[in-house]
Structure 1
Amino acid sequence: MGIVVNNLPRIREECEVLHISDRQLREIMKRLHQALLDGLGKDTHAKSIVKCWLTYIQDLPNGKERGKFLALDLGGTNFRVLIINLGANHFDMQSKIYAIPNHIMTGSGVDLFDHIAECLANFMKEHNVYEERLALGFTFSFPLKQIGLTKGILERWTKGFSCSGVVGEDVVQGLKDAIARRGDVQIDICAILNDTTGTLMSCAWKNHNCKIGLIVGTGSNACYVEKTENCELFDGEPGKENLLINTEWGAFGDDGALDFVRTEFDNEVDVSSINPGKQVQEKMISGMYMGELVRLALVKFTRMGLLFGGQGSDLLFQRGSFYTKYVSEIESDKQGDFTSCMEVLEELGLSHATEADMAAVRHVCECVSRRAAHLVSAGIATLLNKMDEPKVTVGIDGSVYRFHPHFHTLMCEKISQLVRPGLQFDLMLSEDGSGRGAALVAAVACRQSQQGV
Structure 2
Amino acid sequence: MGMAINQLPRIREECEVFHLSEKQCREIMSRLHNDLVKGLGKDSHANSIVKCWITYIQDLPNGKERGKFLALDLGGTNFRVLIINLGENHFDMQSKIYAIPNHIMTGTGIALFDHIAECLANFMKEHFVYEERLALGFTFSFPLKQLGLTKGILQRWTKGFSCSGVVGEDVVQGLKDAIARRGDVQIDICAILNDTTGTLMSCAWKNHNCKIGLIVGTGSNACYVEKTENCELFDGEPGKPELLINTEWGAFGDDGTLDFVRTEFDRDVDVNSINPGKQIQEKMISGMYMGELVRLALVKYTRMGLLFGGRGSDLLYERGNFYTKYVSEIESDKPGDYTSCMEVLEELGLSHATEADMAGVRHVCECVSRRAAHLVSAGIATLLNKMAEPRVTVGIDGSVYRFHPHFHTLMCEKIAQLVRPGIQFDLMLSEDGSGRGAALVAAVACREREVQA
Structure 2 length as normaliser, TM-score? 0.96
Secondary structure (helix, strand or coil) at the match of 2:214 reads strand
1:53 matched to which residue of 2? 53
- The one-letter code sitting in structure 1 at the alignment partner of 2:411 is M
CA distance 1:115–1:297, shift in 2 (3 Å): closer
Tell me if structure 2 keeps the 8 A contact 1:5–1:356: no
Tell me if structure 1 keeps the 8 A contact 2:159–2:218: no
Alpha-carbon distance, 1:170 to partner: 1.0
Alpha-carbon distance, 1:90 to partner: 2.1
Cα distance in structure 2, aligned partners of 1:2 and 1:388: 60
- Counting matched residue pairs gives 453
Alpha-carbon distance, 1:275 to partner: 1.6
CA distance 1:19–1:101, shift in 2 (3 Å): closer
Secondary structure (helix, strand or coil) at the match of 2:425 reads strand
- The one-letter code sitting in structure 2 at the alignment partner of 1:417 is Q
Where does 1:123-272 land on structure 2 (aligned, <5 Å)? Answer: 123-272=123-272
Cα distance in structure 2, aligned partners of 1:120 and 1:298: 43
Cα distance in structure 2, aligned partners of 1:293 and 1:108: 31
Secondary structure (helix, strand or coil) at the match of 1:156 reads coil
Secondary structure (helix, strand or coil) at the match of 2:30 reads helix
Alpha-carbon distance, 1:146 to partner: 0.7
2:279 matched to which residue of 1? 279
Secondary structure (helix, strand or coil) at the match of 1:277 reads coil
Secondary structure (helix, strand or coil) at the match of 1:6 reads coil
Tell me if structure 1 keeps the 8 A contact 2:149–2:191: yes
Cα distance in structure 1, aligned partners of 2:362 and 2:294: 10
Alpha-carbon distance, 1:81 to partner: 1.1
1:63 matched to which residue of 2? 63
- The one-letter code sitting in structure 1 at the alignment partner of 2:149 is L
Tell me if structure 1 keeps the 8 A contact 2:56–2:236: yes
Tell me if structure 2 keeps the 8 A contact 1:4–1:356: no
User: Which 4+ residue blocks in structure 1 deviate beyond 6 angstroms?
Assistant: none
1:31 matched to which residue of 2? 31
Cα distance in structure 1, aligned partners of 2:59 and 2:135: 17
Alpha-carbon distance, 1:2 to partner: 8.4
CA distance 1:419–1:331, shift in 2 (3 Å): same
2:309 matched to which residue of 1? 309
1:338 matched to which residue of 2? 338
Alpha-carbon distance, 1:213 to partner: 0.6
- The one-letter code sitting in structure 1 at the alignment partner of 2:40 is L
Residues 381-407 of structure 1: per-residue CA shift (max 9 Å, x gap): 000000111111111111111111000
Tell me if structure 1 keeps the 8 A contact 2:76–2:218: no
Secondary structure (helix, strand or coil) at the match of 2:208 reads coil
Secondary structure (helix, strand or coil) at the match of 1:373 reads helix
1:113 matched to which residue of 2? 113
Alpha-carbon distance, 1:106 to partner: 3.9
Say whether 1:441 aligns with 2:441.
yes
Where does 1:359-370 land on structure 2 (aligned, <5 Å)? Answer: 359-370=359-370
- The one-letter code sitting in structure 2 at the alignment partner of 1:144 is L
Cα distance in structure 2, aligned partners of 1:102 and 1:278: 22
CA distance 1:219–1:2, shift in 2 (3 Å): farther
Cα distance in structure 2, aligned partners of 1:450 and 1:2: 79
Cα distance in structure 2, aligned partners of 1:365 and 1:106: 31
Alpha-carbon distance, 1:6 to partner: 3.2
Residues 205-224 of structure 1: per-residue CA shift (max 9 Å, x gap): 11111111111111111111
Cα distance in structure 2, aligned partners of 1:305 and 1:180: 61
- Gapped runs of 5+ residues in structure 2? none
Alpha-carbon distance, 1:103 to partner: 4.2
Cα distance in structure 1, aligned partners of 2:100 and 2:364: 37
Alpha-carbon distance, 1:250 to partner: 0.8
CA distance 1:254–1:3, shift in 2 (3 Å): farther
CA distance 1:322–1:121, shift in 2 (3 Å): closer
- The one-letter code sitting in structure 2 at the alignment partner of 1:172 is V
Cα distance in structure 1, aligned partners of 2:54 and 2:25: 27
- Gapped runs of 5+ residues in structure 1? none
Cα distance in structure 1, aligned partners of 2:447 and 2:215: 27
Cα distance in structure 1, aligned partners of 2:209 and 2:405: 26
Residues 12-60 of structure 1: per-residue CA shift (max 9 Å, x gap): 1111111110011001000000000011011111111111111111111
1:82 matched to which residue of 2? 82
Cα distance in structure 2, aligned partners of 1:110 and 1:359: 49
CA distance 1:103–1:307, shift in 2 (3 Å): closer
Tell me if structure 1 keeps the 8 A contact 2:160–2:274: no
Secondary structure (helix, strand or coil) at the match of 2:335 reads coil
Structure 1 length as normaliser, TM-score? 0.96
- The one-letter code sitting in structure 2 at the alignment partner of 1:395 is G
1:122 matched to which residue of 2? 122
Tell me if structure 1 keeps the 8 A contact 2:63–2:89: no
Tell me if structure 2 keeps the 8 A contact 1:213–1:394: yes
Where does 1:369-408 land on structure 2 (aligned, <5 Å)? Answer: 369-408=369-408
Q: Which moved more, 1:117-126 or 1:307-316?
A: 117-126
Alpha-carbon distance, 1:195 to partner: 1.0
Cα distance in structure 2, aligned partners of 1:286 and 1:327: 12
Secondary structure (helix, strand or coil) at the match of 2:449 reads helix
Cα distance in structure 2, aligned partners of 1:81 and 1:424: 36
CA distance 1:382–1:405, shift in 2 (3 Å): same
Alpha-carbon distance, 1:3 to partner: 5.9
Tell me if structure 1 keeps the 8 A contact 2:159–2:288: no
- The one-letter code sitting in structure 2 at the alignment partner of 1:93 is M
Task: Give identity over the alignment, percent.
Answer: 89
Secondary structure (helix, strand or coil) at the match of 1:357 reads helix
Cα distance in structure 2, aligned partners of 1:131 and 1:272: 48
1:72 matched to which residue of 2? 72
1:7 matched to which residue of 2? 7
Tell me if structure 2 keeps the 8 A contact 1:62–1:205: yes
CA distance 1:300–1:49, shift in 2 (3 Å): same
CA distance 1:2–1:196, shift in 2 (3 Å): farther
Cα distance in structure 1, aligned partners of 2:57 and 2:242: 9
CA distance 1:177–1:260, shift in 2 (3 Å): same
Secondary structure (helix, strand or coil) at the match of 2:299 reads helix
